[in-house]
Amino acid sequence: MEDIFTSDKLESIKSLESTIRKLENAFSQMTQKGASTTLVEKRLKAVTIGLAMLEQVWNQKPQDYTQHDLIEARNVLIGLTPSVETSYAKSKEGSPQRTLLERRLKALGLVVQAINEASI
């Protein structure tokens, strides 16, 4: 995790913050409609934990998640990756959407790596 460019670190953190905002908005909309929010809640918690892990590794910000929380978050994020990869594959070359998805994939990979290293 030490050989990550500063620009990649910033992009990954911004990507996760953006993902959190999107999930919070989805949660709010689904709650208003009375829809089940279980999946969105799991993803929101996982991405929030992921952001905390990267901030701990890169910025020495403390996090207080349990080993169980970290493993659960890692599994949720690993499960989320294929759908992001599919969207990326369908996106147009050079489009803003493709750039966003590329950054999200990189961020997810870095989070999984950080959690794996913390879980050892």
- Residue 113, C-beta contacts closer than 8 angstroms, at least 6 positions apart: 1
For residue 23, what pLDDT is reported?
98
Residue type, 116: N
Q: Which of 39, 44, 50, 18 is nearest to 116 (CA)?
A: 50
- Asked if residue 111 lies in contact with residue 80, where contact means CB atoms within 8 angstroms, the answer is no
- Asked if residue 63 lies in contact with residue 32, where contact means CB atoms within 8 angstroms, the answer is no
User: What spatial distance separates the first Cα and last Cα of the chain, rounded to whole Å?
Assistant: 14
pLDDT in tens, the chain (120 residues): 668 899 999 999 999 999 999 999 999 999 999 999 999 999 999 999 999 999 999 999 999 999 999 999 999 999 999 999 999 999 999 999 999 999 999 999 999 999 999 875
Domain map (residue ranges) of the chain:
6-114
Q: What's the number of CA atoms in the CB half-sphere (13 Å) around residue 79?
A: 11
Give Cα separations from 90 to 38, 58, 85, 106 (angstroms). Answer: 27, 32, 9, 17
